[in-house]
Amino acid sequence: MMVRHLSRAAAGSIAALACALLTACSASTHSTPSAVHDSTARGAGSTKVKVKTLPKSHLCTVLTTDVAERLLADPRFTAQVGPDKGGAPDVCNYASADGKAALSLTPASRAYAAELSAAHALRADPASAGMRDVRVETVSSLGQRAFRETSYQTQARQRITFVVWNAGYRTWVLTHATMADTPTTAAAASDDKAVQVARSITAKLPTSR
Amino acid sequence: MKIKKRPAGRKWTGLLAFTLAPMVVLASPSVASASSQECLGNSSTPANADIAGNWSTQHQTRSVTVQQARKTWQDWVYRGDLDHKTFQCPWNVPSCSYAWQQSKTTGWKWSVGLNVKVPSVLSKAVSELAALTPSYERNGSITTAFTWTITLKPGQKAAPIQVVERRWTQGVYQGIYHSTGKSCLPTTTDINAKPHFYTWDPNARWGSWTTNMAVSDWATYNVWS
């Protein structure tokens, strides 16, 4: 049962991460923070089709467009659609103008130790998430504890870097995804621009629960 | 010609003999001289039956909204999880960003769950009464390009949904022809018509209907753990 569950998850993961980049192009049209946005489509029933997008996250005051520019070419804020029910994770998301790269900042949903454990689990079984070449490295001089996780999504052909760090009572996740036809060797963690961005913003992030 | 009017308190009693079967306006010389009366009827209309006004009569029965629910409810006209479009964020990654990246068009009805209440003897007229209710058989459709992203926590599932927001609405029918009980000349086109004179009461409210009327439509993702 577990195996089937995981393989299903892997297939979904591929699709989702592919979309994360592709979405960036069109999502840039929803750049105004507001509770409800009109989409361009119209229903045949003469009503405007509406999409419920979330207000811009306060995290975007930390991960600003200027900061995102260090990793993305011509970054555009990407609005998040709100789920029908339940809470949505707080996230600030940008995409490059060409839609080939994305950057997001969000609080981790698990404790730092759990994230680190999950990263090692992924490294041991990358296929479970449709990935390969998973590397997990400790990062210094970032919060109290930090690691970088790099991987390659085989179906979506994306190189994904997660920077996960613990600062105060909170753990943060910075995700950088880029389109890549082939997996490339990630730069050393100390030289990784995603790590550098994380270091530059961590002092501005909320530390309380 | 004396018009036979029923007291207000007897409206419903009169309706027991009411029908909405298709009518034909039966023109006869007597109609022209009695402007407040119409010679109406067909083969299935009893002589003492009140009838509703429809397309064929001078006056038409209409539906009137009398009550609406304060809150609306969501009618999910499309849910991707039933269509095997569910995505699950893997447990072993810190975060997922998901967009379905597909376009979906779904048709829906403006009015669903229509319930018409009239005396049982009038059941054959229900379909015609239903047509009087607002947005009856009006179709809508929603086209959504699910290109927006949603961030998911590890293990969370997501699927696209299209939602029609609906409001429970109740109403009545207004306007009815009361039979005078007096016959008028039969038409040559329907020898079984047994036509009678009727008077139009524009303010009589009778019967009831309830339906769930569309008020808006939108799309998003359904997210669950």
A161: nearest Cα among A145, A170, A148: A148
| Averages of pLDDT over each 10 residues, chain B, 225 residues | 32 41 35 63 69 85 93 95 93 92 92 83 67 87 89 93 95 90 74 81 93 93 90
Phi, psi (deg, nearest 5) at residue A10: -65, -45
Flag if B149 and A23 touch (Cβ within 8 Å).
yes
Hey, of B93, B101, B147, B220, which one would you mutate to test binding to chain A, going by the most A CBs within 10 A of its CB? B93
* Contact (CB<8Å) B140/A44: yes
| Among candidates B74, B101, B142 on the partner chain, residue whose Cβ is nearest the Cβ of A23 | B101
Where do the structural domains in chain A lie, given as residue ranges?
2-39+47-204
Q: Where are the domains of chain B?
A: 8-224
Query: Out of A11-25, A75-89, A106-120, A143-157, which region has the weakest mean confidence (pLDDT)?
Result: A11-25
Please report, for residues A37, A51, B117, B132, B225, the alpha-carbon distance to residue A34 in angstroms, rounded to integers and kept in the order given: 7, 11, 43, 39, 26
At A168, the pLDDT band (50, 70, 90 cuts) reads confident
C-beta atoms of A49 and B149 within 8 A: no
Q: Which of residues 6-45 of B touch A (CB under 8 A)?
A: none
CB atoms within 10 A of CB B197: 25
Side-chain half-sphere exposure of B2, counting CA atoms within 13 A:
4
How far apart, in whole angstroms, are the C-alpha atoms of residue B67 and residue A2? 52
Chain-chain contact of A41 with B143 (C-beta, under 8 angstroms): yes
Q: In angstroms, rounded to a whole number, what is the distance separating the alpha carbons of residues B78 and B98?
A: 18
Across the interface, of B91, B145, B216, the residue whose CB is closest to A47 is B216
Closest CA to A81 of B78, B99, B164: B99
Calculate the CA A106 to chain-centre distance: 7
What pLDDT does residue B147 have? 86
Are A174 and A146 in contact by the 8 Å Cβ rule? The answer is: no
Residue B159 touches chain A, beta carbons under 8 Å: no
| Strand ranges, E, within chain B | 24-25, 37-41, 62-68, 73-79, 87-88, 96-98, 103-109, 111-117, 139-145, 150-152, 157-183, 196-224
B contacts of A9 (beta carbons < 8 Å)? 88-91
Start-to-end Cα distance in chain B: 75
B84 touches A at CB < 8 Å:
no
